[in-house]
Amino acid sequence: MRAVVYDRYGPPEVLRLADVQRPVPKVDEVLVKVHAAAVTRADCATREANRRSGLLISVISQLVSGVGRPRQRILGSEFAGVVEALGAAVTEFSVGDRVFGSSGFRFGAHAQFMCIPESARIASMPAGMSCDDAAAICDGGLNALWCLKVGDLRKGQRILIYGASGAIGTAGVMVAKYFGADITAVCNTKNIEVVRSLGADRVIDYTKEDFAKNGETYDVIFDAVGKQSFGRCVDSLALGGRYLATDGLANLVLAMWTSRFGNKKVIFSIPPRYTKKDVLFLKELIEAGKYRAVIDRRYPMEDVVEAARYVETEQKTGNVIMTIA
Ligand SMILES: NC(=O)c1ccc[n+]([C@@H]2O[C@H](COP(=O)([O-])OP(=O)(O)OC[C@H]3O[C@@H](n4cnc5c(N)ncnc54)[C@H](OP(=O)(O)O)[C@@H]3O)[C@@H](O)[C@H]2O)c1
Residue from 39, 40, 41, 57 to probe ligand 1 pocket by mutation (most atoms less than 8 Å from CB)? 41
d(C-alpha 306, C-alpha 304), whole Å = 5
Q: Is the CB of 235 under 6 A from ligand 1?
A: no
How far does residue 278's CA lie from ligand 1's centre (Å)? Answer: 21
User: Quick check: bond before 271 cis, omega within 30?
Assistant: yes
User: Is the Cβ–Cβ distance between 318 and 165 less than 8 Å?
Assistant: yes
Q: Is the CB of 165 under 6 A from ligand 1?
A: yes
- For residue 40, the ligand 1 atom closest to its alpha carbon is 15
- Residues lower than pLDDT 70 in the chain: none
How far does residue 161's CA lie from ligand 1's centre (Å)? Answer: 11
- Give the pLDDT confidence score for residue 160 in this predicted structure: 98
Q: Where are the alpha helices (DSSP H) in 261-325?
A: 276-287, 304-312
Residue from 193, 294, 311, 314 to probe ligand 1 pocket by mutation (most atoms less than 8 Å from CB)? 314
pTM score of the predicted model = 0.96
Q: Could you report the per-residue pLDDT of 76-98, keeping only the tens digit for each? A: 999 999 999 999 999 999 999 99
- Report CA-CA distances (Å) from 154 to 159, 175, 177, 236: 10, 11, 10, 18
- For residue 271, the ligand 1 atom closest to its alpha carbon is 3
- Identify the residue whose C-alpha is closest to ligand 1 atom 1: 246
Q: Is the CB of 315 under 6 A from ligand 1?
A: yes
230-236 contacts at long range (C-beta below 8 A, 24 or more positions apart): 230/254, 230/258, 230/264, 230/266, 234/264, 236/160, 236/211, 236/212
d(C-alpha 272, C-alpha 221), whole Å = 18
- Find the helix packing angle between 276-287 and 138-150, rounded to 10°: 110
Q: Is the CB of 160 under 6 A from ligand 1?
A: no
How far does residue 122's CA lie from ligand 1's centre (Å)? Answer: 25
- For residue 41, the ligand 1 atom closest to its alpha carbon is 15
How far does residue 208's CA lie from ligand 1's centre (Å)? Answer: 19
